[in-house]
Structure 1
Amino acid sequence: MSQSRVLSVNAGVLPLVEEMRLRADELRVAVSQGAAGETVIDAGAGVPGSIEAGRLMTAICLGGLGTVEVGSAPYLARWPFTLTVRTSNPVVACLGSQYAGWQLTAGEGESSYFSMGSGPARALAGKEALFKDIAYADRSDHATIVLEAASPPPEELVRRIAADCDVAPENLTIVFAPTQSLAGSIQIVGRVVEVALHKAHELHFDLSRIVEGMGTAPLSPPHPDFITAMGRTNDAVIYGGRIILHVTGPAAQAKALAEKLPSSNSNDYGRPFAEVFRQYEGDFYKIDPMLFSPAEVQVVSLESGETFRGGAVDPKLVDASFD
């Protein structure tokens, strides 16, 4: 992992953050200064936001170490428009930056605030055990965090985030958008490769051997209801996501990874995610974690030249979720 130590995900996103600021009117986002001096970018709560804002949010989540493209693909006839994510640094981009693993809370009762932080700032704070597993830490004078939320965090939490990242509050940027928004839905669908990396980690695959990652998932239609919107974004990946990983090491292990990664291995596979969520009364921790994975997987063994496959997209379940 020596190469990963020279990559700064926080430095890498500075041009993307600046692009969002300069294109704010075009992207239909709002840029402001918070009470602690931080930069706040609302990409879909008090403003309409846009698909392009969501694309940029996804690129920021990846720490500037990937490409994010809106396009089309024929494999889902009724939902042909897609988001494709590609990275040559999948472990750092997806797990060191994009993964929503930093729990952020403030206040109590009705005035409480909760969100899961994703993006480059996580690699400065290093609050999660995951960073030890991937042997990555960032060093930067600037920090950027992305929140799937309907409002920015309160000042006390902003100052705590800045302190945990060891940056001045005025050097902290917070980008946020709710799940129900255009940008919010895009950045969740854009986790199609990240969920595969996270599942590979749970399966104890040697992450240092994953050298390329690329994935495509259909653009889920936003919905004003939170659970419906969340269900659609998850289903885009669980039933409509396709990925390809290039790995080093023994071909037999690449084959086993391809067989174990698809979402169809989960006991909770087979119904729209919103139904599963309601069954467990909104408790994420009761859902089989093996469900959070792409539908269709290819793993290329660079050692043998073989490509191993597992799973398949399920157009009927995508239809059931998106309609």
Structure 2
Amino acid sequence: MTAYPSVGALSAPLVEALIRDAATLRLGVETTATGATIVDGGINVRGGLEAGRRIIEICLGGLGHANFVADNGFGRWRTALQITTADPVIACLGSQYAGWSLSEGEFFALGSGPARALWAKEELFGELGYKDEAQAAALVLETDKRPPDSLVSYIAKECGVAEDKLTLILTPTTSLAGSVQVVGRVLEVALHKAHALHFPLERIVDGTGLAPVPPPAADFLGGMGRTNDAVLYGGEIALYVEGPEDEAEQLANGLPSSTSRDHGRPFGEIFAGYNYDFYACDAGLFSPAVVTVTALSTGKSFSAGAFEPELVEKSFRGA
């Protein structure tokens, strides 16, 4: 295994700070009978934008930063999230990517964050040559329900940590924190698509991302629609890559969401057209609207894609 930084160790102080500041951040904190910590990011508490920003940085495994910045590109929606990382591949794919599917009874959620690198049973980790060995585990679950205690115990066991070293952060998509943390994946979805396009991950040196922050929706489907539209039609990323210039250009042309057959309609409409089967959607859709790829060997940059401000406006207004 390659000697990468420990996303668990780097994010542990961020998790501790989130729990310590829970009252200020309008978060709920529960300790289970077996010692695990469950942080409510918006189910029975209000949560907030700042909580979501901090949760993004936990998801990035302590290898990235999320900041709110001004953006005048989308009319009245002038607040955006800017994502930067020290190691985009490990931060985004080795930690932030929601690749751990968890279910028990009627409970289902996708897990993201540094605990994935302790579990490391996704095929992706074999390709990355990475497995973490941290002493504590933190996993973010996109859900509006508390997981059963038996599932909490299972997660701890799979991560190889005692239950009192496990923190689960619950972020419903309809909450302020949940909306923010999903939009904070703008860079991650680009890296995931680069991987799907078979671009060598070891040649991706650096990257940044930017996407508008949507208002939270009243229901799960609305929340899924707005957060996806923010990225698909309003998101922008820059990648800095090694290797031949023509391959950087090829990557730029293949990355934008506009390359997908499903591009051009609000995500909620697309999703309904597939009878709400997420996996029936064209996987190529899930990428930012605009990309720029710079070939470090020559310094030349290649851009592709286009913003769709009218679709962003329609989605965010709930029209």
Aligned counterpart, 2:220: 226
**What corresponds to 1:90 in structure 2?**
88
CA distance in 2, matches of 1:19, 1:313: 36
One-letter amino acid matched to 2:244: P
Q: What is the identity, as a one-letter code, of the residue corresponding to 1:157? A: L
- Choose from 23, 26, 43 the match for 1:25: 23
Aligned mates of 2:305, 2:32 — CA distance in 1: 46
Given residue 52 of structure 2, which amino acid in structure 1 is its aligned partner?
Answer: G
Offset at residue 36 of structure 1 (A):
2.4
Kindly state the Cα deviation for residue 285 of structure 1 after the two structures are TM-superposed: 1.3
Quote the RMSD (CA, aligned, Å). 1.0
Aligned equivalent of 2:7: 9
Paired residue total: 317
Tell whether 2:299 aligns with 1:321: no
Alignment partner, residue 43 of structure 1: 41
Checking the alignment, whether the CA contact within 8 Å between 2:94 and 2:116 is kept in structure 1 is yes
Contact 1:131 1:137 in 2 (8 A): yes
Aligned equivalent of 2:104? 106
Cα offset for 1:320? Answer: 1.5
Aligned residue number for residue 189 of structure 2: 195
Q: Is the 8 A contact 2:257 2:286 kept in 1?
A: yes
State how far apart, in whole Å, the 1-side matches of 2:258 and 2:6 are: 35
User: Distance between the aligned counterparts of 2:136 and 2:233, measured in 1?
Assistant: 37
SS in 1 for 2:188: helix
* Counterpart amino acid of residue 86 in structure 2: S
CA contact (8 A) 2:74 2:313 kept: no
Deviation of the 1:255 alpha carbon: 0.3
- Which residue does 1:237 correspond to in 2? 231
Q: CA deviation at 1:159?
A: 0.9
Q: Does 2:271 match 1:277?
A: yes
Q: Which amino acid aligns with 1:119?
A: G
The residue type equivalent to 1:76 in the other structure is F
Shift of residue 141, structure 1, vs aligned partner: 1.2
Q: Are 1:68 and 1:85, in contact at CA under 8 Å, matched by a contact in 2? A: yes
Task: List per-residue Cα deviations over 1:30-83 (Å, max 9, x = no partner).
Answer: 112023210111111110001000001100100010010011112223311100
Q: Please, which runs of 5 or more residues in structure 1 have no aligned partner?
A: none
Which of 198, 202, 207 is residue 208 of structure 1 equivalent to?
A: 202
CA deviation vs aligned residue, 1:115-165 (integer Å, no higher than 9, x gap)? 000000010001211111111110011000000111221111111111110
Instruction: Determine the structure 2 residue equivalent to 1:55.
Output: 53
Give per-residue Cα distances to partners, 1:71-128, cap 9 Å, x unaligned.
1112223311100100120110000000001010112xxxx21100000001000121
Are 2:4 and 2:130, in contact at CA under 8 Å, matched by a contact in 1? no
TM-score by length of 1: 0.96
Q: Give the one of 92, 111, 120 matched to 2:114.
A: 120
In structure 1, how many angstroms separate the alpha carbons of the residues matched to 2:153 and 2:220? 28
The 3-state SS of whatever aligns with 1:186 is: helix
Are 1:89 and 1:212, in contact at CA under 8 Å, matched by a contact in 2? Answer: yes
Q: Compute the displacement of 1:177 (Å).
A: 1.4
Match runs of 1:173-192 below 5 Å: 173-192=167-186
User: Which residue is equivalent to 1:137?
Assistant: 131
Structural mapping, 1:153-164, within 5 Å: 153-164=147-158
Q: Given the alignment, which residue of 66, 79, 82 partners 1:81?
A: 79
**Secondary structure of 1:180's match?**
coil
Aligned to 2:161: 167
- The CA deviation at 1:217 is 0.2
1:259 is paired with a residue of what secondary structure? helix
Structure 2 unaligned regions, length at least 5: none
In structure 2, the residue matched to 1:65 is 63
Letter in 2 for 1:140: A
Q: Distance in 1 between matches of 2:4 and 2:203?
A: 18
Distance of 1:21 and 1:318 partners within structure 2: 34
Q: Aligned to 2:81, what secondary structure does the other structure show? A: strand
Amino acid at match of 1:136: Y
